[in-house]
Structure 1
Amino acid sequence: MIKLNCDMGESFAAWTMGDDAAVMPHIDMANIACGFHAGGPAIMAQTIQLAIEHQVEIGAHPAYPDLAGFGRRTLHFPPTELKAILHYQIGAMRALCLQAGAQISYVKPHGALYNDMQRDQELFEVVCRVIAEQNHSHPEHPPLYLLTLATANNATQQRIADECQVELCFEAFADRCYEPDGSLRSRQYSDAVFTDRAKILAQAKAFASGEPIIASDGSHILLQPQTLCVHGDNAESIATVVAIRQALSDS
C-alpha cells in the first residue's frame, strides 16, 4: 500500500507549527525539520521520540539556512558549502536518532531546496552526492534513500541517482494541482492547493490505484508515486489525513 509522509517538527521557539501528536498515528514516514528552516535540537528529539512510539519511519528534512523565510526562499551557495550545510543537518538528525535508539532512513529536502533540485540537475546531483557520502561514512547502517517528486518523466533524476548509487523514492501530493508535465502548479495560482476534501481523496485514490489524475489544463497524466505527502497544520487538514488513511486502507 502507498505510504503517507508528512513534514514534522517544524515548531520553533514560541511558535507552534502543526499538531504532530495528532498526525503521527496516521502516517508512515516523518520528514523531521533539522533546525535550518524550523525546529531545533529539542524539537527534533521530541519528534523522533514521537515517531518511535508510533513506529513511523524517520527522515531528515534539511533546508537552506532560512529561518526567517521558513526555507521557502531560494538561496545560492557554492556546491562545497551546500554539501556542508546538508551534511550538518543530516548528521545532527542521525546523532539524535542514534541517541534515541532509532535510525534515520531517508532524506527529503524542504521547501525551496526541494523545488530547486527538481529544476536544476547540478543541484540534484549535489544532494545525491551528500547522501552517497553519508552512506559511505556509515556502512554499519542501512543506506539512506532520497525522497523526490514523481513527474511524467524522472529519467534524468534516476540516471543521476544511479550514478551516485542512491535509491530514489518518488512522492506525489494529494492536495496539489499538477501541470501537464507532472510538475506542481505554482502557488501563485489560486487553484494550486486543493481545499475540498472530496477532491483531495479522489486524487489520493487515483495515485494509490495507478490511475491518471487531471492536470491544470484538463489533460490526464499518469504518475507512479510510492508515497503521498500530506499536511497536518490545522484541524481540517488533520481530519483529511485521517480520511486519506481510511480511504487507502479500504481500497
Structure 2
Amino acid sequence: MPQFSRRAVLMQLGASGLAALTPGAALAQNRYAELDTQPWSYLDGNEARFLASMADVLIPEDDFPSASQAGVVDFIDLQLAGPYGQGAGLYLEGPFGDGTPEQGWQADHTPASLIRTGIARLERDDTRLVDLDADEREEFVTRLSEGKDFDLGDVPAKTLFDEIWALVKEGYFADPIYGGNKGYAGWEMVGFPGAHAYYPDHVDKNAPFPAPPRGIAHVPGTRHSADTASALRGADTPKEEG
C-alpha cells in the first residue's frame, strides 16, 4: 500500500471539497501541521481524507481552526498505529453482543481495524464523504451518529461514530506532544493555559491567567504575540475594594 504524505492528503481534501467552502482552505488544512513530509503511521490517503472531512463537520473552522487544521488527523493516525489502536488492554474474545455502555468494548475489532473496516464499508459504493457538499456531509455524519441507514456488517455504525468522535475531541484538546492541538488551538478555544511551571504569583488575583498556552514540552504558544515572561510580569493585579 503506498504511503501518502500528510500535505498531499490534506491538500487534496481542500482541493476536492473544502476549498469550495472556505477561501484558501487548501492551504489552511496544513496551517498547524508539523510533520507534513512524513508518511502516515497507519492511515492511507483515503482514510485520512474521510477522517478530515468528518472531523471538520464535528469541529468546523470559526474563530478557531477546524479539527483537521489543528492536526486531529495526525493525532488519530498516531493513536491507531500505537497500543491503543491495536487493542492493548482490550478483551477481544467472543461472544460479541450488543452489550451496554457499562460493559465496555463489544466489537470484534481493535479500534484501528474498526475504523479502517468501517470507512471502507461506508465508501464501498464509491460515494466518498470528501466529495459531498457541506449539507450532505452534515446529514451523513448526523445519520452515522444515530446509527441509521448503514449496513456495515460487524461494525456497528453508532460505535464507529462514537470512536471517531472521541478521537476527534481528544486530538483537539490533548497536549500537542500527541500530534494534535497544533498551535494550542483547542486550549486557546477554552482558555486553558496548559503546563506552565509557575503559578503562585497569580493564584490570588482572581483574573484570567495572561500567558499563552504552554504544553508538556514547554513550547510556548505561537498564536499570541505576547512573550510569556513579559505577559507574566505585566499582568495587572485587581484593585481591592475599600
TM-score, scaled to structure 1: 0.25
Q: Which has the larger radius of gyration?
A: 2
Higher RCO by CA contacts (8 Å cutoff, separation 6 or greater)? 1
TM-score, scaled to structure 2: 0.26
